[in-house]
Amino acid sequence: MAWRSSGASNAALIENLVRNGLITDPRVKQAMLGVDRAHYAPYAPYQDSPQTIGHAATISAPHMHASACESLLPYLKPGARVLDVGSGSGYFTHVLAELVKPGGKVVGVEHIQPLVDIGTANTRKSAEGRELMDNGGIKYVKADGRLGSPEDAPYDAIHVGAAAAGFHQPLIDQLKAPGRLFMPVEENCTQHIYVIDKKEDGSVTRKKDMSVRYVPLTDAPTG
Residue numbers annotated as active site: 60
Question: Do the Cβ atoms of 41 and 59 come closer than 8 Å?
Answer: yes
Residues 87 and 22: their CA atoms lie apart, in Å, by 22
Are 111 and 220 spatial neighbours (Cβ–Cβ below 8 Å)?
Answer: yes
| SS3 of residue 191 by DSSP | strand
Of 86, 16, 5, 8, residue with least CA distance to 44? 8
Describe the strand order of the beta sheet including 155-160 as a list of residue ranges. 138-142, 105-110, 81-85, 155-160, 175-187, 190-198, 204-212
DSSP bridge partners of 194: 183, 208
How far is the C-alpha of 33 from the C-alpha of 19, rounded, in Å?
Answer: 14
